[in-house]
Amino acid sequence: MSVLQKPTDFTSDQEIRWCPGCGDFAILAQMKKLLPTLGIPPEDIVFVSGIGCSSRFPYYLETYGIHGIHGRAPALATGLARMRPDLQTWVVTGDGDGLSIGCSHLIHALRRNVNIKILLFNNQIYGLTKGQFSPTSPQGLVTGSTPKGTVHEPLNALSVALAGKATFVARSVDTNAKHLGEVLRRAALHRGSAFVEIYQNCHIYNDGAFDYAKNAKIKANHVVELNHGEPLIFGTEQDLAVGLNGPRLETIKQRGGEWADKPLIHDETNQDSSLAQMIAQMRHPEMPEAIGVFRAIKAPTHNDLMPDQSPTTKERAKRLKKQLTSGQTWTVA
Amino acid sequence: MNQKATEPEDTKSVVIRITGDSGDGIQLVGAQTALTSALMGNDFSTFPDYPAEIRAPKGTTNGVSGFQIQIASDHVATPGDEVDVLVAFNPAALVSNLGQLKPQGTVVVDVDAFDARGLRTAKLESNPLEDGSLDDFHLVEAPITSQTRLAVKETGVSHKAATQSRNFFAIGILFWLYSRDPEPTLNYIRGKFDETIAKANEAALRAGWNFGETTEAFPRNFNLPATTVQPGIYRNITGNEALAYGLVTAAHLSGRELFYGAYPITPASSILHKVSQLSDCGARTFQAEDEIAAICAAIGASFGGAMGATGSSGPGIALKTEAIGYAVMLELPLLIINVQRGGPSTGLPTKVEQTDLFQAVMGRNGEAPLPVLAASGPGDCFDTVVEAWRLACKLMTPVMVLSDAYTANGAEPWCIPELSSLEPIDVQHPTSVPGSSPFQPYARNDFLARPWALPGTPGLTHRIGGIEKEDGSGNISYDPINHEKMVHLRAKKVEMAQQLYSSTTVFGESAGELLILSWGGTLGACREAAVKAQKAGRSVSHLHLRHLNPFPVELGNILRSFKTVVAAELNDGQLRQLLRAEFLIDVQGLNKVRGEPFLVRDITKCIEVHLSINNTSHRGAA
């Protein structure tokens, strides 16, 4: 077993083919920073991906990797994790790969609580196929396939994950290095399916989609950071908060150092995911968008629940023979 | 009045067909008859014939379920062309199956079901028992329902349960008629049902037996002496059971755990059921969210070093197509089982066809060859799967195994193999790289197979994927020369399978007038017809192919040794086209696409036609 300390030890010899300036670089950098801290040798880590810009991720890491077919990475990872629980398996997908062609696999991997870490790079566009609207594109987005703007209601990645009963659900932003690093670390340590949506800028086909959440000058007023046990407070002056008013979330404002209504206290361990759903659905510009860990609960994994047995070769031969001769048999002398 | 014979008369074989509603317990009657015959030392072959609908409206022709069995004192390979004894539980069952009954054959009907209502639901204008349509047959009018109700009265079961015991009354009649030992079925009844129901079923069986013995309608009964077969421990096996056992055995022989991913589909689902029952042998099943996930998870399992396998039927295989091509590109061992059914699209889900051969051999984008093997019958499914996995591991390739609905559900006696006598499947995983050079995941051995390096192995970290790879390093490459080289390397590797086949043997003379060529589940009918023709002194040989891609290396020479070659298949000529393309030989076709298996007489007729053409052209030449 080799012990590694440096991010460069996880750098593969492959030339990176993302467009210079792509948000994917920032995510890759955080991953390279994280991996040496986990105490897992590189040979025990596998990155599985689908198709799309994000899915080139495995090539750039000196671990085992399998670049899949479009949308199927969670299925590939499910088989691998079932047979090789000794490995740490990551899935890298995008908004088209994970929420359109492969949405079903994503939901089913999550509901089974397969022990895999799924990162969904959301840039709200199909990049590799040169700019068509994706399932997360906002209505009205003008793209190659929607010259008059898309009319489809966008999917919310976290709502999908929560509907799939994911046991770990989080969101971060590509260039928010410290926050992303921490969210990835939490995901890595979670036992079961971890789902992380990462806002990622495609500066070629959908530049600035997440400016409100990335631009240092304005983001404080548009993003609220979730911390377990703490109130949902945000704003440059920390004078804004998210509160629960009847069945709705709303923005509340501090006046004279006092909160008129109580800010919501975040509980990531809540078994009931209803509040997490409401927080996930807060959308810019009406509401701040939440980043951080929405949900982190303990539950048995897929492998914990399956009736898998690993008999020794000798024992297996014995059992197989018994199975083959089960039921009615007769002997011909 | 004739005196009833007291001693059963010996007979060589009998074909029985039991028919009724799909809820009548028809398959149970068939299964018990098969099991009992096996225990009595007879050979047999069965053909369950049931509709796609689980419970179609009672008494209608849509809901007719059937089970045909041929029991013999000699080796038997098909469930039989013509039925000797037809049992019909209702008018719809009678009229749908009468065409199978041979002239002067016996038809046993439940007369109680031939009332006005029964005739109306079967949409019959007149009663076939009275209108002369059964004049050519030996009709036995048995009051099965009413006699059963009477017989079970003492047990106190409900009216409904009493009616449900009817199938055991029918077993009783059949068992008396062919001197079957009732004990195994009585044991089954006692083990399967609660006490009251068991008593009712037993009473029904005995009443049926007594009915056979006492009624004047049967002048005598028969005896089927035992068959001589190779020594060993036997059991009954269906094709799908044999596939399941074959999968687990192949995993065992190659020292790994089985991962079987599947999505429910007729007629492949029972493989998933059976493998699921074998978890104590290390088998893992995964009922996926769809066909694509089923195969992708199996590919993930193979990447991790397990035995990845998936099974489906034609429509499901269509969905898996992209992933199969992906596995070709990854060069990982993987098994894909296709239990073929009638197509295209949803087609005839429960019926047999061999129409997915092109799909198996060619149905992928790009140049994506893989070995294709077909099982010739229920027991052979076991050997075929084991061989397929041997090829997959040796050549690092996905392999397609073809079965069909007929083979999947048909049962036959099977000599259980001794595990220790099966050759282990040798698999090597590299553990280090020679020298300091980087690991080459697409380096190749003598069989052109790449190394199966497993995650978890230090020093061998590498990335694979569906994009074209550079020869050796496996790095992404769009280089045109490299791409063509890789296309040819993958093709050549698959051709290497030929070197791993056992030799191809022709049944009969190795050269002559006519060669009947078959593949898959039609072996029995073709072989029986060939045996008959050879006994009659005809120059007819038979070759059954297990390997459909690549073809055995000696196949071309074999085909060229015959004046006429006929490919008999349950499709519109797919093997025939492949052979013509490969060998430039004018192969003829015998084709049937009715969702039904070949009858021996289909083949016999074809043999006669081709031999007479050959004779005519001989005379013409002279």
One domain for residues B518 and B409: no
Residues 6+ apart with CB under 8 A from A260: A252, A253
Assess if residue B294 is contained within a domain: yes
Tens of pLDDT, residue by residue over B467-498, are: 999 999 999 999 999 999 999 999 999 999 99
For the record, the structure tokens of A164 come out as 């799939």
CB contacts of A328 in chain B (<8 Å) are 35, 38-39, 184, 235-236
Q: Are residues B302 and B424 in the same domain?
A: yes
Q: What is the pLDDT of residue B455?
A: 98
Residues in A closer than 8 angstroms to B289, CB to CB, are 104-105, 107-108
Shared domain check, B460 and B311 = yes
Mutate to test the interface with A, among B463, B476, B478 (most CBs of A within 10 A): B463
Q: Which of B592, B582, B576, B581 is nearest to B521 (CA)?
A: B592
CB B289 within 8 A of CB A103: no
Amino acid letter at B356?
Answer: D
Residue-number span of the structural domain to which B215 is assigned: 9-223
| Residue at B166 is within a domain | yes
Q: What pLDDT, on the 0 to 100 scale, is given for residue B54?
A: 72
Do B437 and B576 belong to one domain?
no
Q: Do the Cβ atoms of B282 and A333 come within 8 Å?
A: no
- Nearest Cα neighbor of B375 from B344, B347, B342, B337 is B337
The conformation of residue A176, written as its DSSP 8-state character, comes to -
Tell me: do B470 and B558 sit in the same domain.
no
In a domain, B2, yes or no: no
Cβ within 8 Å, pair A320-B229: no
Q: Note the ipTM here.
A: 0.97
- Asked whether residue A13 is assigned to any structural domain, the reply reads yes
CATH number, residue B152: 3.40.920.10
pLDDT value for A5: 66
Q: Are A199 and A210 in contact (CB under 8 A)?
A: yes
**Spatial distance between the Cα atoms of A213 and A178, rounded to a whole number of angstroms:** 14
Separation of alpha carbons B89 and B108, rounded Å: 8
Provide the Cα torsion B233, B235, B238, B240; round to 10°: -60
User: Does B200 share its domain with B137?
Assistant: yes
User: Domain check: are B45 and B164 in the same one?
Assistant: yes
User: Do B348 and B399 have their domain in common?
Assistant: yes
Assign residue B600 the CATH number of its domain.
Answer: 3.40.50.920
Q: Strand pairing partners for A252? A: A241
Distance from A15 to chain B by nearest Cα, in Å?
10
Between these two residues, A142 and A256, which has the higher pLDDT value? A142
CA–CA separation, B176 vs B182, rounded Å? 9
Residue B614, token pair as written in the block: 């050959």
Nearest chain B CA: its distance from A274 CA (Å)? 25
Question: B141 and B176 share a domain?
Answer: yes
* Residue B564 belongs to a domain: yes
Residue A276, in any domain of the structure: no
Q: What are phi and psi of B567, to 5 degrees?
A: -90, 115
Query: Would you say residue B505 lies in a domain?
Result: no
Q: How confident is the model at residue B56 (pLDDT cuts 50, 70, 90)?
A: confident
Per-chain mean pLDDT for chain B? 94
The answer as to whether A182 is a domain residue is yes
Cα B503 → chain centroid = 24
pLDDT given for residue B618 in this prediction: 60
Which residue in B248, B461, B470 has the most chain A C-beta atoms within 10 A of its own C-beta, making it the best mutation to test that interface? B461
Q: Mind telling me how many Å the CA of B254 is from chain A's nearest CA?
A: 10
CA distance B207 to B226: 27
Last residue of a domain, which of B204, B223, B242?
B223
Residues B308 and B441 in one domain: yes
B357-387, pLDDT tens digit by residue? 999 999 999 999 999 999 999 999 999 999 9
pLDDT tens-digit series, residues B104-139? 999 999 999 999 999 999 999 999 999 999 999 999
Classify B103 as helix, strand or coil: strand
Q: Does A100 fall in a domain?
A: yes
Same domain for B605 and B464: no
Radius of gyration of chain A (CA): 22
Domain assignment present for A243: no
Which domain-ending residue is among B223, B249, B278? B223
A11 CA: distance to closest CA in chain B (Å): 12
Q: Do B300 and A86 touch (CB under 8 A)?
A: no
pLDDT of residue B117: 93
Total domains in chain A come to 1
How would residue A3 be classed by pLDDT, with cut points 50, 70 and 90? low
User: Worst-scoring range by mean pLDDT, B15-19, B224-228, B427-431, B446-450?
Assistant: B224-228
Q: State whether B354 and B477 are in the same domain.
A: yes
Residue of A nearest to B296 (CA): A76
Q: Do B301 and A83 touch (CB under 8 A)?
A: yes
In the predicted model, is pLDDT for residue A1 greater than 50? no
Tell whether B365 is covered by a domain. yes
Question: Domain count of chain B?
Answer: 3
- The answer to the question of residue B250 being in a domain is yes
DSSP bridge pairs for B83: B101
pLDDT at residue B252 is higher than 80 = yes
CATH number at residue A201: 3.40.50.970
Find the domain containing A146 and state its range. Answer: 7-209+300-305
Domain boundary among B223, B246, B262: B223
B524-559 pLDDT per residue, tens: 999 999 999 999 999 999 999 999 999 999 999 999
Q: Which residue has the tokens 């089913």?
A: A108
Q: Per residue in A286-308, pLDDT tens?
A: 999 999 999 999 999 999 999 99
